Structure 1
Amino acid sequence: MTKKKNFLIAMSGGSGSGKSTLAVALLERLGPGRAVMFGEDAYYHPMSYYGEPQTAAEREALVAGINYDDPKSKEVDHLVSDLKALKAGEGVDQPIYDYDRHDRSKKTRRIEPAPVLILEGIHALSMPKIRNLIDLSVYVDTPDDLRLARRIRRDVIERGRTVDSVLQQYMSTVRAAHYRFTYPAMFEADLVIADEGVPAYGDVKPSADAIERMLAPVLSRLQTAGVI
């Protein structure tokens, strides 16, 4: 008898869309041992991929030239390999990306398989190599102004950046990449979930009703598929 493979849910949406909030809520709803969350951002290329800068100035210039909102910034083949292993019931050692250093850490994160695998990220539905691995694709559709407000707050408070630097990056690469790579996936997703303004930052938490509204269609699909 062929062993049933683990069920992969891929959640995407623009930066600040609330997809991480939805993914965490689903993880908590399914409970311990039933699901594991798998961050796409862990697979940014290490600095060595672009060359080894010798000075701080060279490193800063190199980082400034990388478009992190383009799927090319990620090691897709490594991601595919790990997803295949998890779907087949094998554990993996996932990379850890250090945002402060703009480089991959020497440490890894051990991930053991679970019946439901939740892949979350802006490119989760935009990489052709993983499409045939996805069992349920979910796109969180959020107004641009709300996404930008969340991004500014996150980058300023959590990552120590200035508002000007966040806006400059948004206008130079983030917005264009969103409409080139991330947004088109909405039209092919199995589920599109509208976020009309659910708080998802700082001390302001989404209400139970808001979370339930966003979770309901995902849970319904899992029930129909016989996963839960």
Structure 2
Amino acid sequence: MSILKPLIIGVAGGSGSGKTTVVEHIVNAIGENDILLIQHDSYYRDLKHLSFEERNKQNFDHPSSLETELMIRHIEALKEGYQVEIPIYDFSKHIRKEETRLAEPKKIILVDGILIFTEKELRELMDIKLYVDTDDDIRLLRRIQRDIVERDRELEHVLSQYQKHVRPMHLEFVEPTKRYADIIIPHGGENKVALDMVNALIQDRLNNYTEEIKNESKSE
């Protein structure tokens, strides 16, 4: 029996653009039983060998800060029907935790991250590429709220990081990848029309997947 390949969807966009809202909308519409969510943030390189002060100085918005090659290997393994061990990252300490998350193949693999379109090898694994486009001032406000509340950062540190790393890296690496997107979603999760179109497209692909399963069963 041949392995039916999962539908791989990439959701990119600047930090604070509303990617999480878009991802949640897709998961709620399709159903979490059929979706495996993989976040690029989980693949930040482990910085245990550095002091905490040195870790804080790192540029986490540059593509080199992420072990994208491991993510690629994991997605390729999932496509072939294998389980993988996804890293769990501690954002307050900038290190990977000892434990990992066991992930099993599902009909849809949803890949989320600001830099997922920068690597050609990763892009080429995706069947549908979505880019969430939101104004800079809104993204900054969301970034501040997230980093202070969820990642235990000080406001001064968040603003300094934004000026030194986030904004320059967005302009150099994130914004240019918009051209690789199949669908651009303006205004992020607030754009209900665009989200409905995306969900309809995914549902159509999922229906085709179900038909393939039926045909596979009949041919056995």
Asked whether 1:146 is paired with 2:138, we answer yes
State how far apart, in whole Å, the 2-side matches of 1:32 and 1:167 are.
35
Q: How many residues align?
A: 208
Pairwise CA distance, 1:16: 0.4
Pairwise CA distance, 1:4: 2.3
State how far apart, in whole Å, the 2-side matches of 1:160 and 1:38 are.
23
Provide the residue aligned with 2:158 in structure 1.
166
Taking the TM superposition and a 5 Å limit, the aligned residue runs for 1:204-223 are: 210=190, 212-223=192-203
Kept in 1, the 8 Å contact 2:37–2:111? The answer is yes
Pairwise CA distance, 1:223: 4.1
TM-score normalized by structure 2?
Answer: 0.88
Q: Deviations over 1:146-171 (max 9, x none)?
A: 00011111112222322221111101
Kept in 2, the 8 Å contact 1:22–1:211? The answer is no
State how far apart, in whole Å, the 1-side matches of 2:94 and 2:155 are.
19
Superposition CA RMSD, Å: 1.8
State how far apart, in whole Å, the 2-side matches of 1:155 and 1:60 are.
17
Taking the TM superposition and a 5 Å limit, the aligned residue runs for 1:51-62 are: 52-53=49-50, 59-62=51-54
Higher alpha-carbon deviation: 162-171 or 37-46? 162-171
State how far apart, in whole Å, the 1-side matches of 2:141 and 2:64 are.
26
Provide the residue aligned with 1:31 in structure 2.
31
Query: What SS does the aligned partner of 2:61 have?
Result: coil
Asked whether 1:81 is paired with 2:73, we answer yes
Provide the residue aligned with 1:190 in structure 2.
182
Asked whether 1:8 is paired with 2:3, we answer no
Pairwise CA distance, 1:85: 1.2
For structure 2, the 5+ residue unaligned runs are: 211-220
For structure 1, the 5+ residue unaligned runs are: 54-58, 199-209
State how far apart, in whole Å, the 2-side matches of 1:132 and 1:154 are.
30
Letter in 2 for 1:66: Q
TM-score normalized by structure 1?
Answer: 0.85
Provide the residue aligned with 2:122 in structure 1.
130
Provide the residue aligned with 1:207 in structure 2.
none
State how far apart, in whole Å, the 1-side matches of 2:193 and 2:80 are.
32
